[in-house]
A and B are shown apart, each in its own frame.
Chain A
Amino acid sequence: MTKELHRPLPRSWWLRKATYFQFMIRELTSLAVLAYTGLMIWALLSSSSDAADFPEFFDFLTGPLSVWLHMIVLALALFHTGTWIALTPKVLVLWRDDERVEPDVIAGANATLFLVISGAVWWLVMG
């Protein structure tokens, strides 16, 4: 039997192709979403009635470091959200008789819904 040649994938495989790189960026941006979830939990714990460290947390929240972090996390979270909205037509395949509803229509509807809900939350909090 002839000896077969095996060529394992190098560690740098994700740098070989734009699609792979975008995939890695999408996965890494989920860490930003995770980090912000952690911040929210910290906020909830700090604002509970018997917590003593709320002033400390509030100081951190209003500091320039926090503002910069929020801006970075917002950008990463928006990118992450966009990738999943773009995915929705792959999962949600709708048919009108024997014609498939255009993927752009489904993604557009999801994007619109996301913007409307985000706007409503903004209005409730800031309005």
Chain B
Amino acid sequence: MPKQVLSCTVNDEAAEVLVQPWDTLLDALRERMGLTGPKEGCGTGDCGACTIHFDGKPVASCLLLAMQARGHVVRTIEGLGKPGALHPVQEAFVKHGVPQCGFCIPGVVMAAAALLNENPHPTEEEIRYGIAGNLCRCTGYTKMLAAITEAAGAGAGRRS
């Protein structure tokens, strides 16, 4: 089967890339665009490690075909913040010592950032459910809750 051209916006820049028709969006990001921040922990939408923003909403990029992103706006962890200019959620994750192995972290950060965009002042219960689609095996989630709560207090949700 011939490759197809995927045109979309990735991390604020216009992107045009050749993909296989069976490539998932996660495959396209990781293997075709070199954006390896989103991780594949299961490939079946159960673990959340591949969470990205799709038109601003958090989605499991392993559950979308790459071509479904045509004309859409995609943001990966690479487009959220950089060392030195971290997003408030990232800042709080560092400060609270959240990351251990780190594999789930890009997905959790993207889920949390999306939550705060939609709901700038979530309750603890809302945070719990906001990241319930993201499995983490190292942290027990406790420090994540504290960090996201602090980021909400710092006004993370008011950033676009």
Decide if A and B are genuine partners. Answer: no
